[in-house]
C-alpha cells in the first residue's frame, strides 16, 4: 500500500491517509477483504503517530470503507454500490466546479456550457 504524505498540504495528515486508502480501494489497488497494515506498522512505515493512523482508520470504518475485526486487523469492506456511486458523484461535483470556475474566468455563458454538455452527451451515445 502506497501512501504519500505532504507536509505542505493544508489537508490534515489523517485525512491524506484516509483519502489515499479510499483512492486505492476505488481504483482496485486494494481488493475486497484484503488486510490492511496494522496501525502500528503503518505508523512506523510512514513515520506518523499511531493516533493519526487510528483516526484515519476509524473514519474509514465509520464511512464503510473498511471493517476492523478485534484481534485480526482491518480489512477492505465488501464494495457497497451506493458508497461507490456517492464517491463518483463527489468526483463529478469536483470536476463540474472546476469547469464552472474556468467558464467564469473566460466569460463562457451557462447556455454555452449546457450546449457543449448536451453535444458531448449525444456524441457519447452514438
- In a structure prediction context, what are the per-residue pLDDT tens digits for the chain, which is 126 residues long? 889 999 999 999 999 999 999 999 988 899 999 999 999 999 999 999 999 999 999 999 999 999 999 999 999 999 877 877 888 899 899 999 999 999 999 999 999 999 999 999 998 876
Domain layout of the chain by residue ranges:
13-76, 81-125
Handedness of CA 117, 119, 123, 126 (dihedral sign): positive
Q: Just give the CATH number of 13-76.
A: 1.10.10.10
Q: What pTM was estimated for this model as a whole?
A: 0.71
Q: Which residues contact 80 (CB under 8 A, 6 or more apart)?
A: 64
Cα separation, 71 vs 18, whole angstroms? 22
Amino acid at each position: 500500500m502506497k501512501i504519500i504524505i505532504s507536509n505542505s498540504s493544508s489537508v490534515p495528515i489523517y485525512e491524506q491517509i484516509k483519502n489515499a486508502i479510499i483512492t486505492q480501494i476505488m481504483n482496485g489497488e486494494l481488493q475486497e477483504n484484503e488486510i490492511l497494515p496494522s496501525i502500528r506498522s503503518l505508523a512506523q512505515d510512514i513515520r506518523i503517530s499511531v493516533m493519526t493512523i487510528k483516526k484515519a482508520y476509524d473514519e474509514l470504518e465509520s464511512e464503510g470503507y473498511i471493517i476492523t475485526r478485534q484481534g485480526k486487523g482491518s480489512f477492505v469492506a465488501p464494495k457497497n454500490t451506493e458508497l461507490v456511486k456517492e464517491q463518483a458523484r463527489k468526483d463529478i461535483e469536483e470536476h463540474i466546479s472546476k469547469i464552472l470556475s474556468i467558464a467564469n474566468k473566460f466569460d463562457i455563458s451557462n447556455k454555452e456550457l449546457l450546449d457543449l454538455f448536451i453535444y458531448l452527451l449525444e456524441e457519447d451515445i452514438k
